[in-house]
Amino acid sequence: MNIVYVLYPGFTALDLVGPYEVISRWPDARVHFLATSPRPVRADVGLTVVPSCTPETAPRPDVIVVPGGGETASLDAAADPALIGWIRRAAPHADRLASACTGAFLYAAAGLLEGRRATTHWGMRENLRAMGVDVVAERVVFDGPVVTGAGVSAGIDMALALTAEVHGERTAKALQLLIEYDPQPPFDSGSPDTASASTLRTAARMLLGDRPFATVRRVTGHLLTARRRRPVR
């Protein structure tokens, strides 16, 4: 089974490495790293990966995995005609199309999320919705052959859920134990639903960088409003 991981400058390291640690352990996995050139590709925090193929040399994929990117990296990649062209051409041959975080933007740019439900990083939901995608605030979303994960660490959840779909729960549970994925974070602030308003504002400033404060306030305000409107279960 050919697993093709898509690389582009500024991809988020955990968006790639998290799913890789799970999916690449499938018993029939053959791993490939695709980029538009054979030169090493640098992640947003310095990790560098050497591609094993380009759009011209890539094998026919069974599974495509697209990581998200820091700042505007995934948006820049979504505007790369060579990369999006390959995704668009290869997708019909793949059994599964997977993404973590803002990797969903590349599928949207290729026209593969039209009429589908998908998720992405909480800070970029409105941007993905503006591309005509039915964006939902869930950790992992399946819609047909497409499976999308929310922000960064959700890529591991996505990969385990995909493993269960492809190889069954027994294999997925064993891989979860193998990588000792047993999250017990020190703080209950890993979701906009549980983070305080102050934490949301701080995280939004980190996410949006030098963009105007009004933009930070708008993103934070939208998330707080959505949280207040959500019915109590």
pLDDT at 216 over 70: no
| Total domains present in the chain | 2
Marked catalytic residue, from 63, 83, 101, 200 = 101
Range of the domain at 191: 185-233
Residue 61 carries which DSSP code?
Answer: P
Among 139, 156, 178, give the residue marking a domain's end.
Answer: 178
132, 114 Cβ separation under 8 angstroms: yes
Residues 152 and 217 in one domain: no
Whether residues 58 and 20 fall in one domain:
yes
Catalytic-residue membership of 101: yes
Same domain for 199 and 145: no
pTM: 0.89
Residues 162 and 199 in one domain: no
Q: Are 61 and 82 spatial neighbours (Cβ–Cβ below 8 Å)?
A: no
Other beta carbons within 10 angstroms of residue 171's beta carbon come to: 16
Per-residue pLDDT tens for 23-40?
A: 999 999 999 999 999 999
User: What is the average per-residue pLDDT within 163-170?
Assistant: 98
pLDDT of residue 70: 85
59-103 confidence digits (pLDDT tens): 999 999 999 998 799 999 999 999 999 999 999 999 999 999 999
Are 19 and 124 members of one domain?
A: yes
* Token pair listed for 136: 């939902």
Domain shared by 133 and 104, yes or no: yes
- Does residue 10 share a domain with residue 77? yes
Same domain, 174 and 197: no
Looking at the fold, whether 20 and 85 belong to one and the same domain comes out as: yes
Range in 112-121, 201-210, 213-222 with the lowest mean pLDDT: 213-222
Residues 87 and 173 placed together within one structural domain of the fold: yes
Residues 132, 226, single domain; the answer is no
The whole-number pLDDT of residue 214 equals: 44
Q: Are 14 and 153 in contact (CB under 8 A)?
A: yes
Tens digits of residue pLDDT in 1-25: 999 999 999 999 999 999 999 999 9
